[in-house]
Structure 1
Amino acid sequence: MSKKLYCEDLIHFSDVMSDFNRVMIITELMNGRALCASWLAKQLNLSPSATRFHLKKLEDAQLIHQRTCGRHHYYEINNQDTADFIESTFRIIPPNDYLILTNTSNKQKFQQARTCYKHLAGSWSVTLTQSLLQNNLIAIQEDLFLITTAGKKFLNHHQLLPDDFDNKIAGKRCIDFTEHRDHIGGQLGSQLLKAMLYQAWFKQDINRRELTITLLGRIKLNAIMNV
């Protein structure tokens, strides 16, 4: 890509994200769910026409895409790379200001555990990542987390990875914007959160990013982190 094209893309992104309502739509979609326009309109107190206008702007910028299910149209973040890029731009916002944007009812809960698109973020995620690193269950390779042989056996044992999970599938090093340290993102991060939700280690509110850790989740994660 030429410098001119790169600058044009950056200017376009800045222009699209300069609108408060579009930032709020993106913030709602960062919980990794597909949401319909009518729900977003009600949540953000926008008219249907204004909501469609903002969604079209975000879609044209390739930040979100539309999925059709019968007569219903749903919108979601384009992909993991897009979510990572959006999350990285949110790091320039002071955490307390971002908490206002997320409309969270519980600041402490949001900082402890939340979704970051489709993976786990917050203090629980950062502590888990550090524990896996210290025990050589994952390893850093540039901007990625790779699973070690011992790590795959360990995570299989705790039912966090399926037996046929490909060791070559990596996790992205995602800087947690409230903890300012790495947590596991990417495909590996998505798989870990999926398994934790399936086993009821966390409960998820369909309309919010924050997660509630269960008693079982505390027991299991503490056991994992103590190895």
Structure 2
Amino acid sequence: MNKLYCKDLIRFSDAMSDFSRVIIITELMNGRALSASWLANRLNLSPQATRFHLKKLEDVDLIHHRECGKHHYYEIKNQDTAMFIESTFNIIPPKECLFLSNTNTKEKFKEARTCYKHLAGSWSVALTQSFINNEFIVIQDNFFIVTEHGKNFFKGHKLLINASNTASVGKRCIDFTEHRDHIGGPLGALLLQSMLQQEWFKQNDNNRELTITPKGRKNLNVLLIDK
């Protein structure tokens, strides 16, 4: 095995060996950019301790920061990094105490949540399989590609309005609670953005859970009907 690879693996393992750093990662997997002060308050840590943990995560390229005035905002580095983190959750699922406060919350988390910037959970997996069955999307290598039939269907439901060609491509992302594919990448991000704009889901700023609205449940069930 390449020695440089071994060193990178050791650095990654070290970065993810601390409870506070795992909490930071799970918070940022919502696709948000969070300030160091927000994270310090969330983790009940001093500013110095929070900055130490953030630097550890930056050093292994899991996160990066952007400056806005006097504040530094931290976020997952990119979509590929988010998918890598989510894939580790498939191997070693996070303990419920990291993001679940009670049984009801646990069920909501499994039903619908954000995975970086796209939809995850049982609804996302069901929708993905329905889109495949109806030939709205096809699998090519490790990607989902929207068909012409799919473009017309999605536009009819206001899910791909003014979409570019790149937005019609989604990555195959394995859902760590359902253990099956859901749609990630640009396509997944655009679908979730459209659903949020149409108020199919309500997003909680403090965690990854999504609440399905009555309007959303009605429209999601329509998407699951075989055409």
Question: Same-fold call, TM > 0.5?
Answer: yes
Query: What is aligned with 2:84?
Result: 85
Query: What is aligned with 1:158?
Result: 157
Give the CA RMSD over aligned residues. 1.5
Query: What is aligned with 1:131?
Result: 130
Unaligned stretches of 5+ in structure 2?
none
Contact 2:142 2:172 (8 Å CA) reproduced: yes
Mapped partners of 1:186, 1:215: distance in 2: 27
Mapped partners of 1:104, 1:43: distance in 2: 14
Find out whether 1:100 has 2:108 as its counterpart.
Answer: no
What is the CA distance between 1:204 and its match in structure 2?
A: 0.2
Q: 1:42-191 maps to which residues of 2 (within 5 A)?
A: 42-94=41-93, 97-105=94-102, 106-166=105-165, 169-191=168-190
Amino acid at match of 1:165: S
Query: What is aligned with 2:194?
Result: 195
Amino acid at match of 2:98: L
Greater Cα offset, 12-21 or 109-118: 12-21
Mapped partners of 2:143, 2:173: distance in 1: 9
What is the CA distance between 1:118 and its match in structure 2?
A: 0.4
- TM-score, scaled to structure 1: 0.94
Mapped partners of 1:45, 1:164: distance in 2: 41
User: How many residue pairs align between the two structures?
Assistant: 224
Mapped partners of 1:30, 1:10: distance in 2: 21
Mapped partners of 1:171, 1:130: distance in 2: 14
What is the CA distance between 1:168 and its match in structure 2?
A: 7.2
What is the CA distance between 1:61 and its match in structure 2?
A: 1.2
Q: For residue 81 of structure 1, give the secondary structure of its aligned residue in structure 2.
A: helix
Q: For residue 178 of structure 2, give the secondary structure of its aligned residue in structure 1.
A: coil
Contact 1:31 1:116 (8 Å CA) reproduced: yes
Amino acid at match of 1:208: N
Mapped partners of 1:206, 1:183: distance in 2: 22
Mapped partners of 2:100, 2:125: distance in 1: 23
Contact 1:152 1:161 (8 Å CA) reproduced: yes
What is the CA distance between 1:166 and its match in structure 2?
A: 1.1
Identity, % of aligned positions = 65
Mapped partners of 1:138, 1:167: distance in 2: 14
Contact 1:146 1:168 (8 Å CA) reproduced: no
Moved over 4 A (4+): none
Contact 1:111 1:178 (8 Å CA) reproduced: yes
Mapped partners of 1:191, 1:19: distance in 2: 33
Mapped partners of 2:62, 2:182: distance in 1: 23
Q: For residue 165 of structure 1, give the secondary structure of its aligned residue in structure 2.
A: coil
